[in-house]
Structure 1
Amino acid sequence: MEDGSVFAVNDNAAVTESLRLERLAPPTGRIRAVLDTDTFNEIDDQFALAYAMLSPERIRLEAVYAAPFHNELSDGPKDGMEKSYAEIKRIVGKLGRSEDEDFVFRGSESYLPGADVPVDSPAARDLVRRALASDAADPLYVAAIGAITNVASALLLQPSIASRIVVVWLGGHALSWRDTREFNLAQDVHAARVVLDSGVPLVLIPCMGVASHLITTLPEIRHYVQGKGEIGSFLAQRFEDCCNDHYGYSRVIWDLSAIAYLVQPEAVPSDLVHSPVLTDQVTWSLDASRHFIRCVKAVNRDAIFKDLFRKLEAGTGER
C-alpha cells in the first residue's frame, strides 16, 4: 500500500498509511494510556495492572476498563466483567488510588452479537470520550489484555477514534501457529475482526510462541514479590492459590507483555507486518495487500520481570 493511501473504518473515518506507520513506531517518553482487562479471569491481569500503575515514568494511566470473560470462574460474560470490575477495584485500592476517582469503568455485558454490532457500555463510551478529547499529535494508547469487545465497540460507536488511538492487544497466537484459538481472541471473534480490519494502528502480541515465554514460579514469586507492600502480598497469594501443586510448576504471566511494550519496548521486539485475516476456522491467513500492523516476535523475559520486581520493591506508583 502506497504512502498516503486511506483505509476507512465503516467509511466514516480515515487513517492514512503514513499516520498509521508513524503511530506504529515503538513509544518513547511518557504516554497516555488506558487498560482494558478481564482481571478476574486468571492471575496475570492482576500483575499487569500493578505493573502499569507502578510505571508512572512511562505511563500516565487514565482509566481501567473491565472486559467480559466466560470460563470456570464466571457464569457468563456479564458475570466475568462484574468480577473483573471488583478485582480492579481491589488492586487499585491496594496501590493507594482513591476509588472515588473517575478511573475504573464497567465494560460490555456480552460479546458482539454480530460483525458490525457494538455493545454499548461505560467503558466503550469513556474510551470514545478520551480518544476524541486527545490531541491529534498525542494518541491515546489502549492496552488490551482480554477479549477485545470494549475496544471494538468503541470503534463501531465512533469510527473517527481510529486516528487518535493506538491499540496494543494480547490476542491470538503467533502468525505461524497452526490455529489462533486463543482465549482472548476466540471469545469474541467478531470483535477481533473489527479491530484487525479497521485500520486502527494495532500492535498485536501473540500468546503461544511469543508471550508464552513470560513464565515464573512460586519460589521466585515468594522471593521477589511476597511482602513487597500490600500489593506484593496480594499478587503472591493469587499466584500461590492458582495451583494445588507447585512442585516443578511454572506459570505464564502473559499479560505483562502489553505493559512491557509501553514501558520498555526494547524488551518486546517487533516487526511491521500486514494485518492478518481471521478466517472462519479461527486461523490466520496472510494477505500482503492489507494495511500494516506491528506484530511482536519475542519478549525478553528477564528484563520484564526484573523491572516489575524492582518497582514492587521500591513501592513507587501513581497516587
Structure 2
Amino acid sequence: MSEMKWPKLEDGDMLKRLAHPEGKVKMVLDTDAFNEVDDQFALAYSLLSPAKLDLLAVTAAPFFNWNSTSPREGMEKSYHEIFNIYKLMDLDSPPPVYRGSNQYMSSREEYVPSEAADKIIELAFSNGSDPLYVTAIGAVTNVASAIVKCPEIIHKIIVVWLGPNSYWWPTQKIFNVSQDYHASSILFDSGVPLIVLPCHSVASHLLTTPYEIDACLRDKNKLGTYFSDLIRGRFTRFGQDRMGWSKVLWDVSAIAWLLNEKWVPSAVRRAPILNPNFTYSFDDTRHFYKEAIDIDRSEVFKDMFQKLAQQN
C-alpha cells in the first residue's frame, strides 16, 4: 500500500459521484488508439454522441505489445491514429489531442510527466462544480500520473475505466491492468470515484464479426470502410479469417455506460485491493466504487452502428 495520503470523499459524496450522470457530461478520452481496433470505434462513437458527451480532449495512452516496440512508440502511434480518425470523419472542429506518457510508472509515488496528465488536471479545475469524466480505455498511466501530481483532482474527476475483469474473476492479469501495475493500483487505492467496465465478463459480450461490420458499415462512408478494413486486416494477420471467428470491441463498453446505464447495469461495491500478482484482496472498510455487471450488446451495437453509418 502507498504511503501517500489521499484526499477523502465521504461515503455519501462518493455515492453521489458514482450515480449515473444526468444530462450532458464533459469528458476526456484517454486511449491507446493504435493498439487494437476497438479504440477507434470508441473514439468515433464518442464524437458521434454530442447530445450526451462533450468531448473536451483526447489523450494518447502508452502501450507495448506486438504492435509497438516500446510504450513510447505505442503512445506516438496512438497519437497519430487519433488524428487519422478525425481526418476520416472530416471533422470541422475536433477536440484537441495531447501526447501521453513515454513510459509506465516506476513507483506509486513518481508520476510520469506528460501533456496528457497536465491537461487532465487543467480541465478538472476548469469545469466549475461539475465533475470531469476521464474515460480511460488503455493503461491508466496518464490518469494515475495526474492524480499523483495533483491529488486534489480526486474531488473533481470521475474515472470510467475499461480495465480489469469482473471482481470474481480469478485473475486481473489483463492488458490494460498489467501494463502498469502502479497506475492501476492507484486507481483502486486513491479513492478517486471509479467506474469499472470489466473485460471479462461484461465487455466480452460485445462480439462482432467481419460479416456484421461489412453489412453495417462498409461503403457507408470513409470511416465505415476503414473500420471494415481494420477488422478484416486483424483477422487476416492472426489467421482468423474464416467462419465462426469473432472480435470483441471491448472499449465501446465505457462509452455505452456513459450514454445509457440501462444498457450497462452496474452495482456499487467496496474497492478491492489489487495485489502485485494481479489478484484481488477484499476489505469491507474501504471506499466505494462501481462495477458494471452486464451489457446489452444489441442495444449498444444498434446505437453505435446507426451513428457510424450515418456519419458524413
TM superposition score category, shorter chain reference? over 0.9
Question: CA, structure 1 residues 29+258, in 2 after alignment: closer, same or farther (shift >3 Å)?
Answer: same
Amino acid at match of 1:247: M
Question: What does residue range 235-314 of structure 1 map to in structure 2 within 5 Å?
Answer: 235-244=227-236, 245-314=241-310
Contact 2:256 2:264 in 1 (8 A): yes
Q: What's the secondary structure of 1:310's corresponding residue?
A: helix
Summarize the alignment of residues 1-319 of structure 1 with structure 2, pairs less than 5 Å apart: 10-11=4-5, 13-98=7-92, 103-136=96-129, 138-244=130-236, 245-315=241-311
Gaps of 5+ in 1: 1-8
What is the distance in 2 between the residues matched to 1:315 and 1:152? Answer: 34
1:233 deviates by 1.2
Alpha-carbon displacement from aligned partner over 1:225-263 (angstroms, at most 9, x marks no partner): 112221111111111111121321101000000000111
Which amino acid is the alignment partner of residue 196 of structure 1? Answer: F
Separation of aligned partners in 1, 2:296 and 2:6: 39
* Deviation for aligned residue 1:119: 0.2
Work out whether residues 271 and 296 of structure 1, in 8 Å CA contact, stay in contact via their aligned partners in 2.
Answer: yes
Is the Cα–Cα contact under 8 Å of residues 195 and 291 in structure 2 kept in the other structure?
Answer: yes
Tell me which moved more, 86-95 or 70-79: 86-95
What TM-score comes out, normalization by structure 1 length? 0.93
**Does the CA contact (< 8 Å) of 2:108 and 2:182 recur in 1?**
yes
Name the structure 2 match of 1:3.
Answer: none
What per-residue deviation string (whole Å, max 9, x for no partner) do you get for residues 191-215 of structure 1?
0111110111100111111111100
Distance in 1 (alpha carbons) for counterparts of 2:100 and 2:295: 29
Partner secondary structure for residue 125 of structure 1 = helix
Instruction: Please report the TM-score for the alignment, with normalisation by the length of structure 2.
Output: 0.95
Alignment size in residue pairs: 307
Residue 16 and residue 134 in structure 1: after superposition, are their counterparts in 2 closer, same or farther (change >3 A)? farther
Q: What is the CA-CA distance between 1:102 and the residue it aligns to?
A: 6.1
**Letter in structure 2 aligned against 1:84:** S
Match of 1:243, SS? helix
Which secondary structure state, in structure 1, belongs to the residue aligned with residue 307 of structure 2? helix
Q: Which runs of 4+ in 1 moved over 6 A?
A: none
CA contact (8 A) 1:65 1:123 kept: yes
| One-letter amino acid matched to 1:164 | K
Counterparts of 1:249 and 1:222 in 2: how far apart (Å)? Answer: 15
Equivalent position amino acid for 1:308 in 2: M
Q: Percent identity?
A: 43
**Structure 2: distance between partners of 1:126 and 1:246:** 43
